[in-house]
Structure 1
Amino acid sequence: MKLSDQIISSAKETISNEAQAISNLKNFIDSDFVSTVETIYNSQGRVVVTGIGKSAIIANKIVATLNSTGTPAIFMHAADAIHGDLGIVQENDVVICISKSGNSPEIKVLVPLIKNFNNKLIALTANKDSFLGKEADHILNCYIEKEACPNNLAPTTSTTAQMVVGDALAICLLDLKGFTSKDFAKYHPGGTLGKKLYLRVSDIAGQNMMPQVSPETDIASAIVEISEKMLGVTAVIENEQIIGIITDGDIRRMLKNHQNIGELKARDIMSASPKTIDEDELAVEALDLLEKNKISQLLAVKEGKYKGVVHIHNLIREGIL
């Protein structure tokens, strides 16, 4: 077998192995899983997630997911716990202990200490008959038949299964809490994701100039207004109300269709009833409108009054698109 074929075959086998194991996890969503979700949902404390080795890495990921979806959580390394870090666990906390075998020496030392504190203990394990499984109040079963590792040694499929069960737990809690995109934005204020969840039209329109002309403005002045405000557009305003819009495209069509433009006014070439968006809407909603209508600009409004322009270039610059 060629080296390239061997690589492709190995990669595909790994993915198939893990995909099958993940699919099989559905069979383990049982009353214990329900009880775990209810226990955490009704808890007045945090979720303390602990593990050792690769399971500790997965524990960190589960903690991050829980925190970002509205369930306070904290990581505690199983080895460090028995050397002082056990103080992390507070009276009302629920402890999730992650271990594939459920029989590692550190786990056997840690579990009785947690039980002595009378905290609820959840086992996330592939071996429900293990020491951890038997001592836990509830079991999150993440059994797998084999690792993706050809020697069935390196934690691969097992850690993927642990992470997937952790995700299922977090999403169930999210659903119970009625956690919305607005709540999500509170915990993700940075980066593109945050901007999609909190950046509003007013934040963008406020950065731009406000091109505007009256219906009787001559064409030369309208062109100057569009050029100086650098947005490729101007609103046409009458009695503080938007009655139309003139874009670069309208100017090009005018030049094509009219030999003598000296007599023309803004109202003669404007497009009536332009697309608008309330300035309190999310910027991502503006993007949806722009894409839906295949246009480059929207007029921002507040209670029907003109407040500025949102250009698709603004959204690109902000990373929304």
Structure 2
Amino acid sequence: MITKEKILATAKETISSESKAVSNLAVLLTDDFAASVELIYQSKGRLIVTGIGKSAIIAQKIVATLNSTGTPSLFLHASEAVHGDLGMVQPSDIVICISNSGNSPEIKILVPILNRFGNTLIAMTGNLNSFLAKHSQFVLDTTVDKEACPNNLAPTNSTTVQLVMGDCIAVCLMELRNFKAEDFAKYHPGGALGKKLLLRVKDILDESKKPAVFPESTIQTVIFEISEKRLGVTAVVENDKIIGIITDGDIRRMLSKTETITGITARDIMTKNPKVIQPDDMVVKALNTMEDFSITQLIVAENNNYKGVIHLHDILKEGIV
């Protein structure tokens, strides 16, 4: 009978088996790995990553990671390569061929062709005595003692260590290129991640909604300005400089303490030295400032010249949170 306990035990055994295989990968690293990374870094061509079966799927993921971190890469399916796709391989390209056994029929056909082309071939294999290993210039050892599969058949540990080896290559190349968050953003302009890294306050600021009153403006004027611009706030401006801010909360607190608003001006209820952000600042910085001070609006100013107001709702609409 299959029980919950048995299922959890099997899952834990799988995790343990794969983690041991990954840990052992550090022992298998040789000078070939360092030489391969340096060669890819110095290359003027692309990196072609090829494989068959489950290794082909791993190859696709490695290519995606490399492209997103600054290494131009292409995926080449080993079986399709010998049916015309070899045309994508250029003389200056470096090829990584992934195969756990290193002896599959497709690999035995592809490897000699790549060698005749003159491309540098890097093997990623779990069999150092394989055809692939023996006919490659560099070998990345991804040997595993066994698969996590109870029958020792389904690629599990072997594909996991291939994936980790690919990540090792990508991260080493990022370090060599001094790859920064700003560089990462260039390749990820879409979605929440790209917006966090690229979107600036000026990109979402609506300068047509620029609530402002003078220090001597009446409370009626202040209320009208806040209501018309619908941002829940207005700046208090004198000689084109910001001297304060009034929120709808300030209005409510004032009304709760006085029976008449006659004679009360904006100067009387404004908050001096409001939180200000620059137009060129990142939107994520504006969000963090709002969170730090538990506020929902920020004055936008450049050299104290009033530009407008950014509201939490403006940020939420961009999908950053």
Question: Same fold by TM-score, threshold 0.5 exceeded?
Answer: yes
Give the deviation of 1:129 after TM superposition.
2.7
Question: Which residue of 2 is the match for residue 138 of structure 1?
Answer: 138
Letter in 1 for 2:273: S
SS in 2 for 1:50: strand
SS in 2 for 1:90: coil
> Structure 1 residues 267, 184: closer, same or farther in 2, change over 3 A?
same
Distance across 2 between alignment mates of 1:30 and 1:247: 64
Q: In the TM superposition, what whole-angstrom CA distance separates every residue of 1:133-191 from its partner, at most 9, and x where no partner exists?
A: 22222222222222221111111221121111111111111121122222222221211
Question: Which residue of 2 is the match for residue 58 of structure 1?
Answer: 58
Q: Does 1:183 align with 2:183?
A: yes
Question: Which residue of 2 is the match for residue 233 of structure 1?
Answer: 233
Map 1:193-204 to 2 at 5 A: 193-204=193-204
Give the deviation of 1:27 after TM superposition.
2.1
Q: Does 1:39 align with 2:39?
A: yes
Q: Does 1:219 align with 2:231?
A: no
> Structure 1 residues 244, 14: closer, same or farther in 2, change over 3 A?
same
Distance across 1 between alignment mates of 2:169 and 2:110: 23
Question: Which residue of 2 is the match for residue 254 of structure 1?
Answer: 254
Letter in 2 for 1:203: D
Q: In the TM superposition, what whole-angstrom CA distance separates every residue of 1:192-215 from its partner, at most 9, and x where no partner exists?
A: 111112111011113771111111
Q: In the TM superposition, what whole-angstrom CA distance separates every residue of 1:262-290 from its partner, at most 9, and x where no partner exists?
A: 22111111111111111111111111111
Give the deviation of 1:116 after TM superposition.
1.1
Mean CA deviation greater in 231-240 or 295-304: 295-304
Map 1:236-315 to 2 at 5 A: 236-315=236-315
Query: Which blocks of at least 5 consecutive residues in structure 1 are unaligned?
Result: none
Mean CA deviation greater in 50-59 or 26-35: 26-35
Letter in 2 for 1:273: N
Question: Which residue of 2 is the match for residue 171 of structure 1?
Answer: 171
Give the deviation of 1:243 after TM superposition.
0.9
> Structure 1 residues 275, 29: closer, same or farther in 2, change over 3 A?
farther
1:208–1:309 CA contact under 8 A, matched in 2: no
1:301–1:308 CA contact under 8 A, matched in 2: yes
> Structure 1 residues 23, 309: closer, same or farther in 2, change over 3 A?
farther
Distance across 2 between alignment mates of 1:210 and 1:42: 52
Question: Which residue of 1 is the match for residue 123 of structure 2?
Answer: 123
Distance across 2 between alignment mates of 1:207 and 1:17: 58
The ranges of structure 1 where at least 4 consecutive aligned residues each deviate by more than 4 angstroms after the TM superposition are none
Question: Which residue of 1 is the match for residue 157 of structure 2?
Answer: 157
Give the deviation of 1:2 after TM superposition.
4.7
Q: In the TM superposition, what whole-angstrom CA distance separates every residue of 1:51-83 from its partner, at most 9, and x where no partner exists?
A: 000111111111111111111001111111122
How many matched pairs?
A: 321
2:128–2:141 CA contact under 8 A, matched in 1: yes
Question: Which residue of 1 is the match for residue 81 of structure 2?
Answer: 81
Instruction: Report the TM-score, using the length of structure 2 for normalisation.
Output: 0.95
SS in 2 for 1:271: coil
Distance across 2 between alignment mates of 1:266 and 1:142: 71
Query: Which blocks of at least 5 consecutive residues in structure 2 are unaligned?
Result: none
Letter in 1 for 2:295: I
Q: In the TM superposition, what whole-angstrom CA distance separates every residue of 1:96-154 from its partner, at most 9, and x where no partner exists?
A: 00011111111111111111111111111122232212222222222222222111111
Give the deviation of 1:260 after TM superposition.
2.5
Give the deviation of 1:222 after TM superposition.
0.7
Cα RMSD for the two superposed structures: 1.5
Question: Which residue of 2 is the match for residue 14 of structure 1?
Answer: 14
> Structure 1 residues 170, 217: closer, same or farther in 2, change over 3 A?
same
Letter in 2 for 1:6: K
2:22–2:161 CA contact under 8 A, matched in 1: yes
Distance across 2 between alignment mates of 1:153 and 1:106: 20
2:111–2:135 CA contact under 8 A, matched in 1: yes
1:70–1:174 CA contact under 8 A, matched in 2: yes
Distance across 2 between alignment mates of 1:35 and 1:273: 57
Distance across 1 between alignment mates of 2:157 and 2:80: 26
Distance across 1 between alignment mates of 2:157 and 2:208: 51
Instruction: Report the TM-score, using the length of structure 1 for normalisation.
Output: 0.95
Mean CA deviation greater in 217-226 or 127-136: 127-136
Distance across 2 between alignment mates of 1:148 and 1:207: 59
